[in-house]
Amino acid sequence: MSRQRLLVTTVVVVAVAAGVGWLLWPTSAAPSAAAVTAGPYQVRLIGDPPKVGTGPVTVEITGSGDEAPTPDTVSFEPAMPQMGHATTPVVATAEGDGRYRGDVDLSMPGQWELTVRITSGTQTHNAVFSVTTNG
């Protein structure tokens, strides 16, 4: 009987360890290159996947006809609605060719919503990306 109990315990421990390892395994896939429409703009999240902590986020914004628009401001607003977390919005810096970069704080692993807020004159348009951070 004790041999059978040892075998069952070993199988359970190995299964749990495999499940935890799979959940915590870092992904190497870059963010989706799919564009999100925000009013007259197409917004793409580019670069490496965001990580837990403060790090860079870069977006590429194009208008109709693929020209690079010049909005008054672009900001990033990270939130984790399912946990009730939101961080301070970050005003992005224009890097040229329609690219904007800012350092955002994603304080914990999990599913985040990153809102890219584009303001031109009195109009504001939002593009929302779903990103997953790993530890």
Q: Strand 99-106 relative to strand 53-62: parallel, antiparallel, unpaired?
A: antiparallel
Region 21-39 average pLDDT:
60
Q: Is residue 76 part of a domain?
A: yes
Instruction: Flag whether 16 is in a domain.
Output: no
Whichever domain contains 85, its CATH number is: 2.60.40.10
What total number of domains does the chain contain?
1
Residue 26 has pLDDT above 60, yes or no: no
Tens digit of each residue's pLDDT (9 = 90 or more) over 53-82: 999 999 999 987 766 688 999 999 999 988
Q: Which domain, by its residues, includes 108?
A: 36-133
Q: What is the DSSP letter of 19?
A: H
Under the banding of pLDDT at 50, 70 and 90, the label for residue 18 is low
Global pTM exceeds 0.75: no
CB contact at 8 A, 66 and 48: no
